[in-house]
Structure 1
Amino acid sequence: RRNFLQQSVAFVAAAAVLAGSQSGALAASLPPQDIKVLCDAECSAALESVEAVTLPSGLKYKEIVPGNGPSPPVGFQVVANYVAMTPNLRVFDSSLEKGKPYDIR
């Protein structure tokens, strides 16, 4: 489970990093009421206190809620909900809003 959570957080972090350069374009294309901010100032401050992990590839992620269960065996299908945000904490993709978790194998 810990590896799965790390991979899920890494997926979200990677998506956030990739979208960071496009955040202005994404924000410009949405009406102001449709731009969702997932984390308020207090939440943002709490996230700042979590240490970032840097992978050999250079990808950085934060393990916000460490898992303690077993990892799924290689090749098993798992599903996860995710929320992908830009560095300024604006949501640009969310399985919760789509109503369907992401399938990972």
Structure 2
Amino acid sequence: MTGSIASVKGFPGFSVYAASKAALHSFARGWLNELKGRNIRVNVLSPGQIATPIQEQLFDNDTKRYFESLIPRGKMGYPEEIATAALFLASDDSSFVNGVGLYVDGGTSAI
């Protein structure tokens, strides 16, 4: 499932969005238990600030700098970095990964 770091951060103006994303973690825990006999893994992938083409249209430079200032890594992530994490969770390399919330956010959710 695709979550968001908004589920664990208190971003002003995002409370309804954050609550909907936080609910995914509850679904994951329930589904993990319900589906355990079928060998189905349930994880939540939660991206942070990701540089996307729509941001070029919506964000001015000050807004981009503000978002980047929240990221310990110092720059936004890229869609390819989220794709790599999703591929890991979908692959046999993560066969023993079950019920996790994977935050792919450059460390934003950690502080």
Q: Larger helix proportion, structure 1 or 2?
A: 2
TM-score, normalised by the number of residues in structure 1: 0.28
TM-score, normalised by the number of residues in structure 2: 0.27
